[in-house]
Amino acid sequence: MKAVKVLGPGCKRCEATEDMVRKEAARQGIDVAIEKVSDYAAIAGYGILSTPGIVIDGKVVHAGGLPKAEDLAKWLEA
């Protein structure tokens, strides 16, 4: 199971990012545990200044704006 954190204050882009992660994981048949992180100090602790951010298995893979679908697919496969 992949541990995925979606970092952001809960804006529309953050919600869309979480939805994208869920759909891509389902498409690939990958089990994911998604955690929303909205605490600004926790987000800054990952070095992310622009949200939404994505952390997969402890590694920051994306920050700022919606991720590209093909990138998200690669990150979840790795």
C-alpha distances out from residue 44 to 14, 17, 32, 53, 68, Å: 16, 18, 23, 10, 23
pLDDT number for residue 39 = 96
What is the rounded (10 degree) CA torsion for 73, 1, 39, 52? 0
CA distance 42 to 26: 27
pTM: 0.94
Domains contained in the chain, CATH given: 2-77 (3.40.30.10)
pLDDT tens digit at each of 78 positions of the chain:
999 999 999 899 999 999 999 999 999 999 999 999 999 999 999 999 999 999 999 999 999 999 999 999 999 998
Length of the chain counted residue by residue: 78
pLDDT number for residue 78 = 82
